[in-house]
Structure 1
Amino acid sequence: MIWLKRLFKLFLFGMISGLILIVGFYFYIKDELPTEEVIRDVRFQIPMKVYTADGELISQFGEKRRIPLHYKELPQTLIDALLATEDSRFYHHYGIDPIGVLRAAFDTIILGKRTRGASTITMQFARNAFLTLDRTVIRKVKEIYIAIHIEQLLSKEEILSLYFNKTFFGNRAYGAGAAAQVYYGKDLDQLTLAQIATIAGLPKAPSNYNPLRYPERAKQRRNIVLSRMLTVGAIDKATYEDAIAQPITAKHHGAKITAYAPYVAEDVRKKMVEKYGLEQAYTEGFNVYTTIDSKAQKAAQQAVKDNIHAYDERHGYRGPTSYLWHESELTDASDTLESVEGQEDITNDHAQFESWTFEQINEYLENIKDYDDLVPAVVTNLTEKTAYVQLRSGIIDVIDWENMKWARPYISDTAQGPAPTKVADIIQPGALIWLRPNNDNSYRLSQIPDVSGAFVALDPTNGDIKASVGGYYFANNQFDRITQAKRQIGSNIKPFVYSAALENGYTLASLINDAPINKWDNKLGTAWRPKNSPPTYGGPTRVRRGLAESKNVMSVRLLRSVGINKTIEHMTRFGFAKSDLPKNESLSLGSAALTPISVVTGMSVFANGGYLVRNQLIDRVENIGGKVIFKNPKLVAGYQTPEVNAYDDTVESDNQESNELMPAPRVISAANSFLITDAMNATIWGGGNWSKGTGWSGTAWRAQSLKRRDISGKTGTTNDAVDTWFTGFNSKIIATSWLGFDAPGRPLGSVNYNTNLDNKQTFGGESGAKSALPAWVSFMHEILPSIPVTYREIPEGIISVRIDIDTGLLSRKTDHTTRWEYFIKGTEPTKYTDSNLPIRLDDNKDQIKEDDELF
């Protein structure tokens, strides 16, 4: 009895001490326990997603990938797998499982090792959400208290939902939904039982059981999960045996990008970080909807790539990247070493003096990444008109003559070698080459391009950017040429010069002397001789034709007549910064350096009837719940009447963001816009009567292939064709195309005729019409069919009269020597033509012989 009393007292003392210890621990950590508000408001740190206007995913940003799911969206097999493996008594405890604790303690004491854990799912969630992974007593005590606290506040379903959304599953996947996408590229409800079990086994040790890095370990863990499911009756024997027989099928899957627009994504990322800060932008689960149209973006992307490759091909083949072996060296090994060491074209460290085996080539190619659409290949054999190549993964393909015959040697930007007659003139076995896929799954010989290109399209009525391509391959060069590259714009400046002239007394029928200019510059001690390209001069020429044919000397004369200051002031109405407009006569030829986005925005004033819209890429931002938290206000052309801010070059400030639509300021009259647009239509369609000998073509006549009379545009080429441009539009869409080298001052050069190619090829000097326009035409071929023909409305105050095409005066004739011309009422000619009357113009007889310049 004495011993029993002593044991009882000891037991009682232990209980009281334990209670005191528990209460003491509670008060010790009480202030560190999360409140109910914090527990319920668990932040998921969801990545930001960027979408097109039509809902296609462009990109996502954020270290942690999450796809939050409601409890009802969780597959029952996933719940069963987790409970069977981690906490089979989940529905029978209140945060901690005494039976589980005793069982774990028994295993540790009796067996001498820990065979199972005592942590419940609630405790695991408490640790993952609110604590560290430190193995300390105080951390474990906190974990227990938080688990009990959670059980008092949340239902079992809520706990499971939070667990499956918060737990780390490896490979930056937080939550089961993200894990399904990362490892299988599917939604959870599309996974097989074996795949579900693989995911359910990951929380125990995501790094050790990663199915991508350690497939065998993942398989063992998966089978343990399936075994537990069988033990608790969640699956039957047949289902179990079928599941464990399945291989590990996990592969890394990135986000389901359905609209490729990397330059757009980066621009949006920068804007969101600037607005919300890096942490908030990357973790709040923002859904950013851009103004991009997925069809337009795809068309623009393809147009830029095709145009760059077209330029690259007509300038010649720069040869294989390297040679892994040389066919000519497969002779005596001793002679080979001596002869090959002096050859400069063997640039690869792995160059061999015997042909490589299939396995060697395959291993080598596995270490070479694709360059956007270009894939590496090794030439293994030749016939006269075909090349046998080995691609990555051991694929053997045949490149036919039609896909290689373009490849005459590149000598320089202005010179090319003779057209090849057989494959051996181009490549030899052992060559490491680049191939570009055709639409029919065949391949075409290609090369990594040196030249760059850019393309941007927007809606001229509200400034919404519909497509934006800042370069050829974003992964290689993140410099966005649409928003960051200021390049001289050549004759793309002329519509603005001519617009200023119309505001200062000129009409489309006014005659300007198309004759050489010779102006002495006292500062430079030399003469400035701007000239046309080509250097032909037509004497007195109407303004309409001068703009359409891009006559340089006429643009200079107009600038002189209006005045540089007046012209610059007029140009600032189109959104151009005065600091970007040089205060000299070269401005009339396009010496101003501007970004493509500023050019297309300024030119949209002509497309929309005279209003300056604000280009914008982000339409709205939604939070994770789908609520719009930011809506970008739009400046809409003609939105409000009467017109506001007439001839004002300012734009409404951003403090009116609560208004979704605002009137865009009118910056030029509707009449001015209409006349310049109509003249730019002649840039494409020309004028006169070809059958009568009076026909003429504008510089953008190649755009006639679109067979649309409602389009207008302007080419642009700088000195030596360093930069080439084309901007074209109708009232619904406007786009600017640019082609040039990133290296400052490097000309695009010229090409001679390639006898291996068809008659449609471009040869001669590069220019806006030859180099930039093709991308615009390609884009519009895809876009215009969905846009109805929209003819320009004739504004109030515009009249048309019949004029003589030589003098610009009124004519009583109705034959090929006349045409109908538009005028602002009151500016039309009042005299009829008389062939006996001289045409009074500035005379300048100086002739010049220098090479072509800006036009």
Structure 2
Amino acid sequence: MYRIQKFLTSKLFVFSLLCGLFLCILGGAVFMRYIFSGIPPVYEMEEYTPSLTSKVFDRNGKLIHEFSIEKRSVVPLEEIPVDLQNGVVAMEDRVFFQHAGFSVRGILRALLNDIVTGRAKQGGSTLTQQLSRGVFLTQQKKIIRKIREIVLAVQIEHRFSKPEILQLYLNEIYLGSGAYGVKAAAKRYFNKELSELTTGEAALLVGLIPSPGNYNPFANPQRARERRNLVLQVMHEQGYISAEDLQKAKAEPLPEKEPTPDGDKPGLYFIEHIRRILEPKYGTETLWKGGLNIYTTLDIDQQAVAEEIMNKKLQEFDAVIAKGMGIEIDPNDPEADTHKADPGEENVPPREEYPRLQGAFMVRDVKSGAVRVMVGGRSFTQSKFNRATQAKRQPGSSFKPYVWMAALQQGYTPATLVKDLPTMFYFDGRNWHTFDENADLYSLDLAAQSFIGSKAFTVWVPQNYGGRSDGWITLRRALEKSKNLVAVNLIDAIGARKVIDVARKAGLTAPLPPVPALGLGVAVINMDEHLAALTTFANGGIHTDNYYIERVEDNNGRILEEHIANEREAFTPQNAYLLINMMKGVVQRGSGAAANRLKRPIAGKTGTTQSHRDMWFVGMTPHTAAAAWMGYDDDTSQEKYHWTGSTTARWWTEIMEQILKDEPADDFAVPEGISFSYINPNTGKLATPTDPNKFLEAFKKGTAPTSF
């Protein structure tokens, strides 16, 4: 006993005690350093930006799409229903407004449960702890993580007010099906805004918090109902709702039908197009998680009309083709199953066994270039290939306006007589040449015989559609009748390089071969570029590129980019007007006559390629321009059905009847330097006062004919 007392009073004991104490302090310091090393600075939460949904709006401010990895929207607390706030507090942390970030009672209860069950399952976390875990920490159930969670929760409580913490929590919490935050969840489960939620719907969202998969109303309706009712019962017991409200909310039905994915909602080709523009510019992270607000040029109402009508008309053409194959389909139902004409026949072919026509349609503002409608095909879900922007197709005769503009630049007038005569071209290995232009078709055929079999020469004899030539006709009438012979003879007379120069100034960038057949549209071009180029003529010779995005804002409303108009004078307003005035004749008296039904001034041009593989119509008012195309992706010919650009003009007209219904029926403005004279449409000379066929033609001043 004496020895023990002596040791306790000895220096060795004191030293040992001090060493032990030092080691404990050192160990504690190391442990706390380890704990704090895994905790980020709490001030980062002030700048914390969760993964947000980027929203896409049409020209009228309608929300048309959302880019998101997680469905999430951040809203202030005052916009979140009180029932939803109360339900969360009642179920997840009833002493939320009293504790300092953690609850000792809750931790002890959870610890006891874990000991009894032998599993680290019970959470015991306050809302603040859940928030710290959701923002900064992992979900792994470890003691170290739990300690860090408590420390961080205390720091959060010290730095933020209770309403701020609750707001962060309600915007951060995951509620299943990709929905983060209560606003996204309200949209996901009920297709409603937060302000529209009922008490029962708010309780259902609260019930999802512990296990969104188990309490999903679409996957487990019975569990979801029981959980919702439990939330309501707890809210009643804690005085948040009355007994009457409790019974009323319990009687509410659960959502039965899960909201469908985008599917073929209108405008998906346009959405994909702007994604291809913005993603390389801002990066995937910013576009899909940055909460951008993207204001576009699209008119979603016009887009929906265009898609519906185009699909309906192409389905009618499909029915004609299918019938020729012995297959009957409902032309009014694109989703209808096919069946053979003989109902008793076995091995009924599926829908895919008859070819489906494809189409594209695009509308833009003449002056600004803003794209209002973009239809890249019949179904985005079936084919994401955008035929309005990605497909390169031959434009056929819709290319002829470039040739006619080149002629105007070389001094031709709409009344100039041009030759609609058979012409034989031959290629000597370097250049194209013509035979005697005065020879008849028989003589040309005879002359060609000497070249047959020669590898050094290529002979080409173009023809008009239908095979008829009219000799010499006015430049106007040649365009109205879409004369192929006139087009190639003009190129031969003025040179293919001048036509290419016109096309380049108008806005075409595609390779254009310097050959006589260029006037017949043998080059391959994109619809969007072709439409923008032809619109240059309707805009008084001023070219504007197509554009799709008005402005982009970040999630704080700061403007990241904004469209700035970029105009370029490509042609004189006088030449542009003369061409547009002739293109009006294509609609009034020529191949685009279907558009006359709109009863307004329209300039247009049809186009049909060899063997009817591509069928175009491009039409313009002074305010709006639109292009339509139909054909097959694999270039299948439809010559047997006699479909042409005039066929396309019919469904173009049906769409534009809706799109133009509120647009004033203005005519193209006549620029200074234009005069009008009555001419004889057959001779191109001045008409006599008594001439029954006289036609009022436009000319640049000083170029009108002077003889009768």
Superimposed CA distance per residue, residues 218-269 of structure 1 (whole angstroms, 9 cap, x where no aligned partner): 2333233233223323234444344445453254225799971110011111
- Give the 3 Å change call, closer, same or farther, for CA 228–33 of structure 1 in structure 2: same
Q: 1:465 to 1:685 in 2, by over 3 A?
A: same
From the two aligned structures, give the one with the greater helix fraction: 2
1:578-636 deviation line (CA, Å, top 9, x unaligned): x521111110111011111011000011111001101111111122233322112122x
2-structure distance, mates of 1:520, 1:82? 84
**Residues 146-194 of structure 1, C-alpha deviations (whole Å, 9 max, x = no match):** 1011001111111111111111111000011111111111123322323
| Change in CA separation of 1:580 and 1:780 when aligned onto 2, cut-off 3 Å | same
Report the identity percentage. Answer: 33
Match in the other structure for 2:591: 699
What's the offset of the Cα at 1:302? 2.2
2:442 corresponds to which residue?
none
Greater CA drift, 20-29 or 158-167: 20-29
Q: State the shift of 1:373 in Å.
A: 6.8
CA RMSD of aligned residues (A): 3.0
Give 2:357's aligned residue. Answer: 451
Structure 1 distance, partners of 2:575, 2:556, is 48
Aligned equivalents of 1:59, 1:427: Cα separation in 2:
44
Structure 1 Cα separation of the partners of residues 27 and 233 of structure 2: 40
Contact 1:532 1:552 (C-alpha < 8 Å) held by counterparts:
yes
Q: 2:176, 2:343 → 1: CA distance? A: 46
Shift in Å at residue 43 of structure 1?
1.5
**How far does residue 778 in structure 1 lie from its aligned partner after superposition?**
0.9
Q: CA deviation at 1:802?
A: 2.6
Assess if the C-alpha contact under 8 Å between 1:376 and 1:433 holds in 2. Answer: no
Deviations 1:371-426 (A, max 9, x none): 997445699xxxxxxxxxxxxxxxxxxxxxxxxxxxxx8xxxxxxxxxxxxxxx46
Asked if residue 793 in structure 1 is aligned to residue 704 in structure 2, the reply is no
Counterpart code for 1:784: L
> In the alignment, is the contact (CA less than 8 A) between 1:574 and 1:612 conserved in 2?
yes
Q: Which amino acid aligns with 1:269?
A: R
Q: Write out aligned runs for 1:528-539 (5 A).
A: 528-539=460-471
- CA offsets, 1:109-129, max 9 Å, x none? 689898964211100110011
Q: 2-side partners of 1:169 and 1:14: how far apart? A: 50
Q: Distance in 1 between matches of 2:515 and 2:555?
A: 54
**Are positions 1:671 and 2:574 aligned together?**
yes
2: CA distance, partners of 1:15 / 1:307: 89
After superposition, the C-alpha distances for 1:332-371 in whole angstroms (9 at most, x for unaligned) are: xxxxxxxxxxxxxxxxxxxxxxxxxxxxxxxxxxxxxxx9
Question: 1:30-45 alignment to 2 at 5 Å?
Answer: 30-45=36-51
Distance change >3 Å, CA 675–CA 56, structure 1 → 2: same
Question: What amino acid maps onto 1:603 in structure 2?
Answer: L
Counterpart of 1:47 in structure 2 is 53
Cα deviation per residue 1:23-62 (whole Å; 9 max; x = unaligned)?
Answer: 5543323344332431112212112222211122322221
Match of 1:473 among 371, 376, 379: 379
Question: Matched residues in 2 for 1:806 and 1:151: separation?
Answer: 91
1:655-676 deviation line (CA, Å, top 9, x unaligned): xxxxxxxxx1110000110000
Of 393, 400, 418, the residue aligned with 1:512 is 418
Query: 2:36·2:148 contact (CA, 8 Å) conserved in 1?
Result: no
Distance 1:178 1:14 in 2: 56
User: Within the alignment, does 1:816 sit opposite 2:692 as a pair?
Assistant: yes
**2:108 equivalent to 1:102:** yes
Residue 462 in structure 1 maps to residue 368 in structure 2: yes
In 1, Cα distance between equivalents of 2:179 and 2:269: 25
Q: Give the direction of change, closer, same or farther, for the CA distance of 1:269–1:730 in structure 2 (3 Å limit).
A: same
Distance 1:113 1:612, change over 3 A: closer
Secondary structure of 1:265's aligned partner: helix
CA distance in 2, matches of 1:193, 1:513: 80
Contact 1:263 1:470 in 2 (8 A): yes
Deviation at 1:108, TM superposition (A): 5.6
Partner of 1:587: 518
- Hey, what does 2:637 align to over in structure 1? 747
Preserved contact between residue 315 and residue 334 of structure 2 (Cα < 8 Å): no
Please give the alpha-carbon distance, in whole angstroms, between the structure 1 residues aligned to 2:257 and 2:693: 72
Partner of 2:236: 230
Name which of structure 1's ranges 228-237 and 89-98 shifts more when overlaid on structure 2. 228-237
Change (3 A) 1:116 1:15: farther
**Equivalent of 2:506 in 574, 579, 591:** 574
Quick one: which of 576, 580, 583 aligns to 1:680? 583
What amino acid sits opposite 1:546 in the alignment? Answer: A
Q: Distance in 1 between matches of 2:193 and 2:263?
A: 15
Match of 1:187 among 169, 184, 193: 193
Residue 486 of structure 1: how far off its partner (Å): 0.5
Match of 1:176 among 171, 177, 182: 182
Report the equivalent of 1:768.
645
The verdict on how the C-alpha distance between 1:434 and 1:234 changes in structure 2, with shifts beyond 3 A counting, is farther
2:370/2:547 contact within 8 Å kept: yes
Aligned counterparts of 2:23 and 2:116: Cα–Cα separation in 1: 26
> Does the 8 Å CA contact 2:297/2:372 hold for their aligned counterparts?
yes
Give the match's secondary structure for 2:179.
Answer: coil
Contact 1:378 1:431 in 2 (8 A): no
State the match for 1:720 in structure 2: 611
Per the alignment, in what secondary structure is the counterpart of residue 739 of structure 1?
strand
CA-to-aligned-CA distance 1:668-715 (integer Å, 9 cap, x gap): 0001100000001111112xxxxxxxxxxx11112111111x111000
CA spacing shift, 1:20–1:372, aligned 2, 3 Å = farther
Q: Which runs of 5+ in 1 are unaligned?
A: 1-12, 323-370, 380-408, 410-424, 436-445, 636-663, 687-697, 752-764, 834-855
How far does residue 521 in structure 1 lie from its aligned partner after superposition? 3.6
Would the aligned equivalents of 1:376 and 1:432 in 2 still touch at CA under 8 Å?
no
Cα pair 1:47 1:284 within 8 Å, conserved = yes
Structure 1 pair 463–114 and aligned structure 2 pair: CA distance change class (3 A):
closer
Q: How many residues align?
A: 663
2-structure distance, mates of 1:297, 1:748: 28
**Are 1:58 and 2:58 an aligned pair?**
no
Moved more, 108-117 or 460-469: 108-117
Residue 448 (structure 1) shift: 7.6
Instruction: Give TM-score, length-normalised by structure 2.
Output: 0.87
Q: Contact 1:319 / 1:427 at 8 angstroms: preserved in 2?
A: no
Q: Which residue of 1 aligns with 2:653?
A: 777
Partner of 1:73 in structure 2? 79
- Structure 2: unaligned runs, 5 residues or longer: 1-18, 430-454
> SS in structure 1 opposite 2:675?
strand
Structure-to-structure mapping, 1:355-434, within 5 angstroms: 374-376=334-336, 425=341, 427=343
* 1:630 matched residue in structure 2: 561
Aligned counterpart, 1:385? none
Matched letter for residue 667 of structure 1: A
Q: 1:460–1:733: 8 Å Cα contact kept in structure 2? A: yes
Pick the aligned partner of 2:487 from 555, 566, 589. 555
| In 2: Cα distance, 1:375 partner to 1:741 partner | 19
Provide the C-alpha distance between the structure 2 equivalents of 1:683 and 1:303, rounded to a whole number of angstroms: 24
Extract structure 1 runs of 4+ deviating beyond 6 A: 13-22, 109-115, 255-259, 429-435
Match of 1:616 among 541, 547, 555: 547
Amino acid corresponding to residue 70 of structure 2 in structure 1: K
Stretch moving more, 115-124 or 488-497: 115-124
